[in-house]
Structure 1
Amino acid sequence: MRIRTRRVVAGLVALGVVAGSAGQAGASGGAPGRVAAAIWEASLEGVHGVSPDVTVRQIARVSVGGAGIRVRFGNPFGNAPVVIKEAWAGRTVAPGAARLVLGSNRQLTFRGRKSVAIAPGQSVVSDSAAVTVRAQEDVAVSVYAPGSPVNDHTFPPFAYDPPASYIGTGGNTASSTSDAGFPGYPVIPGNSSSTAAGYHPGQTWWMDLVSADVPAAKGTLVTLGDSITDGYNAYGPPGQRWTDVLADRLDELPAPARVAVANAGISGNTVSVQPNPYDPTGQCCGPPAPQRLERDVLSVPGVRTVLLLEGTNDIGGGDNAPPASAAQVIDAMKGIAQRVHARHLRIVASTILPMCNPAGSAKEETRLAVNAWIRGTDVFDETLDFDAVLRDPADPTVMIADLRNDCYHPNAAGDQLLGRSIPLPAILG
């Protein structure tokens, strides 16, 4: 048994600084004594159609600053190669904009080559590009890969808050700093997989990681979760996912003490290996967490700590899979923790939020059993009690009305409270 200090934590806390050793190295490169680290993530969830003869300009808001940018592109679900003919990375002139700062756009290369073919089931990481970004600044990654299977990430986010993409009007415009070929209208909902020209909030193609050779952080926290982590339906002010609120708090720390936040949430995801409850095609919600753990978590450059928030979809069930038992959810979480610890990384887990299942119902009893186990186990290095933060004291089967969007999802005010409730020492180690 691993010997460690473990705490159950909930509620608002003051900012704190905790020193720690350097994390595991990920991508090659970086300055001596510095560990390359992921500074943005959006996990790929399925393949939806084929790219037309257009350029897609994707907007990624990094959680910390860094220099020497690398981008990872993947083809995990395609049955044909993704052929990137050209890809560029630059900085936007304003948050969420398609127009780039003059002189900032840099062509991405792959082992010195300007194009690359990604075989089905594979991914590639670009060479380091001379791009420097500040915390909460947008990186625009423009990709021209006509005829390639579109491996994507989609969810309905806040209207003009990245991640997002602009799908161009046609041809290769990846090198252009202008936004003329990237119309902002129509606005196409991020939860619809579309290849139409326009602005697509919440949709990105092929790219799932942005890392920095020299990050302004000691490593990366990866948040592994479902729609609650993805930010699904967290509408309203202040307009941030809880992971973004957490990133803002971490940015107030000195660079050697902070970690970047990489969001590996996928709407509809499950923590246990089973058919997806909502999607018989297996293309909406990503592989179950154990099957994507290596790709979306363990292979992330600079990862130090994993924050696990899953189980809602397993317990809820759907037309394509029955509700999971407590034992099924707990066994899956144990397996994930074991694999994370085998890499000498930390794992923090949160309790499952209320789901509007009546008191005494089978689903609510399962949720309570899983939460009781999470609060009492020593499997995790730390435990967060998100359930205690958002549940309604008058009816603990539901979230507080002013903090929820629907039965499963907090609104933006609920997300803000979650992001502010996390004691920083719990994730910094």
Structure 2
Amino acid sequence: MRSVYRRWITGLVLALTAVPTLSAAGSAGAVSGSTTAHGAAGVWSASLEGVHGVSPDATVRQIARLSVPGTGIRVRFGNPFGASAVVIREAWLGRTIAPGAPKLVNGSNKRLTFRGARSVTIAPGQSVVSDSVPVTVQAQQDVAVSVYAPGAPVNDHTFPPFAYDPPASYIGAGGNTAADESDTAFPGYPVIPGNTSSTAAGYHPGQTWWMDLVTADRPAARGTLVTLGDSITDGYNAYGPPGQRWTDVLADRLNALPAEARVAVANAGISGNTVSVQPNPYDPTNQCCGPPAPQRLDRDVLSVPGVRTVLLLEGTNDLGGGDYAPPASAAQVIAAMRAIADRVHARHLRIVGATVLPMCNAAGSEKENNRLAVNEWIRAGGVFDEVLDFDAVLRDPNDPTVMIADLRNDCYHPNAAGDQLLGRYIPLSAVL
């Protein structure tokens, strides 16, 4: 065990010394829970990726952990992929008694309304936003959104997260139990793997239905950072201590700033997502992994209230290819990234580009040469307002085609230690 720890520290030092130095934003100040006058902001997101089945006659209680304090909470529900309408008969929002728990604080569960109505119909391709709920939620505090919409097409987000770490959901034992503050109707077992779309009663870590955005009318932040990415942003396979995605590590650091300086973090990562417009390399139905980033940019990023900065980390799935799409060329990936940056800049927003992590491609191979070409363009192309060299942080100095062994879960994904390193490496000045 000591030798493993020693190797991890050695790798950490080597990785950090290889990273170009960027100045960090000022020193951390006292945590402020006061709201700001900057207007509404997105404080949590989990992008919808596809439609999988029909919802049972049961309530789904979904858990979201807000990245900054906020007052006046709204929830957005979407039906982007359904062929028929989603009819939400009833929805409630409350605070959980403990992280990831289905039981709610007494008196905290409040009915969600939609322009004053208790139910709402979401047509195919549309989304709705609830009326504001007059509650205050603290940073890193969970809210539970309980939805009763039997017989609706399940537009979902799925990935395998850490145990009892949102996003997650509990599918109830049956019927409309959205108003129930107890956990009686929401069994914690069985635990259904988060990367499996399922409508079975039980605990579903990593799975949410219809809900893709939570906003605060008066956030304790001056705006929102949206992280647009694939499984590495989604947190796929980032197992082990300390048990956070790199976006969550970053959010914790931002929360140490005064409210008037910090931004909220909205995670728009989808496992298997691509940055270039092509058939998905893993799924011929195009329902596993969300539309390509350019096609979901408006819904998942530009529509988020208060968005100030976009952080783009994509390209791994394009460059790697799969059974249903060949590996993309560097030119194809670069063109897609440039087009996204142009659209973000057209909205007078900032965009930060992160380099593509090592993928175990053989040195000198076409895939590896394409990855290196994309990274060189990201670093030197002048398209991004800031560049985060994630590749330099995690690549093995003795073999730059792979990540440092103690920081990776597999060829494509960091483990939790790797995610922590990425989250700590990011200069706050780059994303504010």
TM-score normalised over the length of structure 1: 0.94
> CA offsets per residue over residues 78-99 of structure 1, 9 Å max, x none?
0000000000001000000000
Could you tell me which amino acid in structure 2 is paired with residue 373 of structure 1? W
Q: Contact conserved, 1:317 with 1:323, CA < 8 A, in 2? A: yes
* 1:187-226 alignment runs, 5 A limit: 187-226=191-230
* Cα distance in structure 2, aligned partners of 1:342 and 1:14: 27
1:100 to 101, 104, 118: 104
Q: Contact conserved, 2:19 with 2:392, CA < 8 A, in 1? A: no
Equivalence for 2:403: 399
How far off is 1:160 after superposition? Answer: 1.2
Equivalence for 1:16: 26
* 1:165-180 alignment runs, 5 A limit: 165-180=169-184
SS in 2 for 1:294: helix
* 1:344-363 alignment runs, 5 A limit: 344-363=348-367
Q: Is residue 252 of structure 2 the alignment partner of residue 248 of structure 1?
A: yes
SS in 1 for 2:191: coil
Equivalence for 1:232: 236
How far off is 1:35 after superposition? Answer: 1.0
Give the direction of change, closer, same or farther, for the CA distance of 1:159–1:173 in structure 2 (3 Å limit): same
SS in 1 for 2:344: helix
Task: Select between 8-17 and 290-299 the one with higher mean Cα deviation.
Answer: 8-17
* Cα distance in structure 2, aligned partners of 1:53 and 1:270: 34
| Structure 1: gaps spanning 5 or more residues | 1-7, 19-30
> CA offsets per residue over residues 30-70 of structure 1, 9 Å max, x none?
x9933100000000000000001000000000100101000
Q: Contact conserved, 1:269 with 1:288, CA < 8 A, in 2? A: yes
Give the direction of change, closer, same or farther, for the CA distance of 1:177–1:46 in structure 2 (3 Å limit): same
Equivalence for 1:258: 262
Equivalence for 1:310: 314
SS in 2 for 1:416: helix
The list of structure 1 runs, each at least 4 consecutive aligned residues, that deviate by more than 2 angstroms after superposition, is 8-18, 31-34
Could you tell me which amino acid in structure 2 is paired with residue 424 of structure 1? L
Q: Contact conserved, 1:349 with 1:383, CA < 8 A, in 2? A: yes
RMSD over aligned Cα, in angstroms?
1.6
* Cα distance in structure 1, aligned partners of 2:296 and 2:397: 36
How far off is 1:130 after superposition? Answer: 1.5
Q: Is residue 302 of structure 2 the alignment partner of residue 298 of structure 1?
A: yes
How far off is 1:12 after superposition? Answer: 9.0
Q: Is residue 193 of structure 2 the alignment partner of residue 162 of structure 1?
A: no
How far off is 1:363 after superposition? Answer: 0.2
Q: Is residue 37 of structure 2 the alignment partner of residue 33 of structure 1?
A: yes
SS in 1 for 2:94: strand
* Cα distance in structure 2, aligned partners of 1:110 and 1:255: 29
> CA offsets per residue over residues 196-244 of structure 1, 9 Å max, x none?
0000000000000000000010000000000000000000000000000
2:282 to 278, 295, 309: 278
Q: Is residue 99 of structure 2 the alignment partner of residue 89 of structure 1?
A: no
Equivalence for 1:322: 326
Aligned residues: 410
Work out the percentage of aligned pairs sharing the same amino acid: 82
Equivalence for 2:340: 336
Equivalence for 2:83: 79
* Cα distance in structure 1, aligned partners of 2:400 and 2:165: 32
* Cα distance in structure 2, aligned partners of 1:310 and 1:266: 10
Q: Contact conserved, 1:13 with 1:422, CA < 8 A, in 2? A: no
| Structure 2: gaps spanning 5 or more residues | 1-17, 29-34
How far off is 1:9 after superposition? Answer: 6.8
Q: Contact conserved, 1:10 with 1:386, CA < 8 A, in 2? A: no
SS in 2 for 1:211: strand
* Cα distance in structure 2, aligned partners of 1:381 and 1:17: 22
* Cα distance in structure 2, aligned partners of 1:13 and 1:412: 25
* Cα distance in structure 2, aligned partners of 1:56 and 1:266: 21
Equivalence for 1:386: 390
Q: Contact conserved, 2:24 with 2:429, CA < 8 A, in 1? A: no
> CA offsets per residue over residues 334-379 of structure 1, 9 Å max, x none?
0000000000000000000000000000000000000000000111
Equivalence for 1:42: 46
* Cα distance in structure 2, aligned partners of 1:17 and 1:343: 30
Could you tell me which amino acid in structure 1 is paired with residue 48 of structure 2? L
Give the direction of change, closer, same or farther, for the CA distance of 1:13–1:173 in structure 2 (3 Å limit): farther
Could you tell me which amino acid in structure 1 is paired with residue 130 of structure 2? S
Q: Is residue 385 of structure 2 the alignment partner of residue 370 of structure 1?
A: no
> CA offsets per residue over residues 176-213 of structure 1, 9 Å max, x none?
10000000011100000000000000000000000000
SS in 2 for 1:38: strand
Equivalence for 1:61: 65
Q: Contact conserved, 2:96 with 2:143, CA < 8 A, in 1? A: yes
Q: Contact conserved, 1:233 with 1:409, CA < 8 A, in 2? A: yes
Give the direction of change, closer, same or farther, for the CA distance of 1:11–1:92 in structure 2 (3 Å limit): farther
Q: Is residue 133 of structure 2 the alignment partner of residue 129 of structure 1?
A: yes
> CA offsets per residue over residues 274-299 of structure 1, 9 Å max, x none?
00000001000000000000000000
Could you tell me which amino acid in structure 1 is paired with residue 208 of structure 2? T
Q: Contact conserved, 1:13 with 1:421, CA < 8 A, in 2? A: no
Q: Contact conserved, 2:77 with 2:127, CA < 8 A, in 1? A: yes
1:426 to 411, 423, 430: 430
Q: Contact conserved, 2:42 with 2:215, CA < 8 A, in 1? A: yes
TM-score normalised over the length of structure 2: 0.93
> CA offsets per residue over residues 126-174 of structure 1, 9 Å max, x none?
0001121000000100000000000000000111111000000000000
Q: Contact conserved, 1:36 with 1:211, CA < 8 A, in 2? A: yes
Give the direction of change, closer, same or farther, for the CA distance of 1:9–1:132 in structure 2 (3 Å limit): farther
Equivalence for 1:112: 116
